[in-house]
Structure 1
Amino acid sequence: MSQPLPPKNFDPSRFRQKPVSFVRRSGRMTPSQERAWEELRHGYLVDVPRGPAATSVADDAATDPAELFGREAKLVVEVGSGQGHAILHAAEAHPETNFLAIEVFRAGLARTMIRAEVAGLTNLKLAEANAPEVIDRFLPSGSVDEIWVFFPDPWAKAKHQKRRLVAPDFAAIAHRALRPGGVLRLATDWEDYAVQMREVLDSAPGFDRGFAGEWAERFPGRVLTAFEKKGQDRGRAIRDLAYVRESL
């Protein structure tokens, strides 16, 4: 049977060549989240130039973190910040550091804004976009001190594991963005994903292990969230990893 022809206006460049590590659902926000989105986004949300897809980043997108935050400071980027628990805790504890939370789910970003406003945080910005594209295209090379990837979607079914975020191409993207001596921190409660992460980063050019033994010690800067507690309650071991970008 012959395959149907694509529509006349089909443009293959509008579609990503690699599947993204998330499925973006249009979940409804609560009235308070809607208000926060309208009232607070102008102070917290970064204007990321768009590519063709809803969460994509334009090829020529670029920013200067010093201009973005209004100061020169250490920069920490969290990939998939969820409701913001980890990065809000860190931003409040370290006002001398700039933090960028990247998330595609608007309700999570709205919750983060609400809590940031209550805490009076001025060192936190949010980006509603696909994180690898933000790190690869929007942020300057060597501009990031730490990248956090805490509990990414494990895509547990074998047929879906090609969607996992931590793969050789992501390692290359992280290496580009990190300054020499910068750290990529990871955590997961899925053992096979933890092993995959370790294999990927052990083999990635330009990275050294930032730990001795089989796994890294738990990163003390990561606040215990309900998500992590849930994994612990189910008997899953929490695995931490840390990789340091080699100095030039």
Structure 2
Amino acid sequence: MSDAQERGWAELAPRYLLTVERDAAATSVRPGSGIDPAEVFGRTAPLIVEIGSGQGHAIVHAAATHPERDHVAVEVFRAGLARTMLDAARAGLENLRLVEANAPEVLEHLLPDGSVDEIWVFFPDPWHKTKHNKRRLIAPAFLPLASRALRDGGVLRLATDWEEYALQMREVFTDASEFAPDFDGEWAPRFEGRVMTAFERKGLAKGREIRDLAYRRRERL
């Protein structure tokens, strides 16, 4: 991290970073160590969770634009979290918290069942080499974790600039009994709540098409 990020982390982590009980790994979440969002934020409000929040541009913009909602950013890279904290503090945000942990474990252990209104996964690492495809986040094993955390009617929003990954994402959800497409046609329209980031501009500049998908959590039986 830069000196500014180091200072930001030291000063702002107590305000923004959620304390997570660890399992074996440094970014793991111990089973049974869930949080109560109402206790964390001091109110009951719609909850948005961004997985792989990077430097936080999307989630900070969302929290600033929608003060009536609560937001959680999940990221494993500390420099990105530090940048997010600095921007959140600059904007005076009180409706944003950060989690330094592996996303699947956050969905499985940290968040209560049915507590999340929307999960965002924007531009996840495509692991574009065939031998690394198995590392991709959006895979069959991800679906039960996301469906557990989402409330009935909650939405999972995806975006990628990697065509082959977009096709895989759509295939993963084809036979998902817990989810129904929340769009017509091949792809969802661009999510208007997603701020244009430098990362997205870079993809467009390289001639890559941005593809969105959205799936709604079916009602539990």
Q: TM-score, normalised by structure 2?
A: 0.99
Q: Give, in angstroms, the shift of residue 206 of structure 1.
A: 1.0
Q: One-letter code of the match for 1:246? A: R
After superposition, give the CA deviation of every residue in 1:120-151 in whole Å (9 maximum; x if it has no partner).
Answer: 00000000000110011110000000000000
Shifted more, 177-186 versus 199-208: the winner is 199-208
Q: Give, in angstroms, the shift of residue 196 of structure 1.
A: 0.4
Runs of 4+ in 1 over 2 A off after TM superposition: none
Look up the match of 1:208: 180
Question: Is the aligned partner of 1:241 residue 2:200?
Answer: no
Q: What runs of 5+ residues in structure 2 fail to find an aligned partner? A: none
Q: Give, in angstroms, the shift of residue 201 of structure 1.
A: 1.3
Fraction of identical pairs, as percent: 65
How far apart, in 1, do the equivalents of 2:173 and 2:155 lie?
Answer: 12
> Is the Cα contact below 8 Å between 1:135 and 1:177 reproduced in 2?
yes
Look up the match of 1:165: 137
How far apart, in 2, do the equivalents of 1:54 and 1:208 lie?
Answer: 35
SS in structure 2 at match of 1:172: helix
Q: One-letter code of the match for 1:57? A: V
Look up the match of 2:119: 147
Max radius of gyration: which structure? Answer: 1
How far apart, in 2, do the equivalents of 1:90 and 1:124 lie?
Answer: 9
Q: What runs of 5+ residues in structure 1 fail to find an aligned partner? A: 1-28
| Count of aligned pairs between the two proteins | 220
SS in structure 1 at match of 2:104: helix
Question: Is the aligned partner of 1:229 residue 2:204?
Answer: no
Look up the match of 1:186: 158
Q: Give, in angstroms, the shift of residue 59 of structure 1.
A: 1.4
How far apart, in 2, do the equivalents of 1:244 and 1:69 lie?
Answer: 25
Look up the match of 1:59: 31
Q: Give, in angstroms, the shift of residue 205 of structure 1.
A: 1.8
> Is the Cα contact below 8 Å between 1:69 and 1:98 reproduced in 2?
yes
Look up the match of 1:195: 167
Look up the match of 2:106: 134
Q: TM-score, normalised by structure 1?
A: 0.88
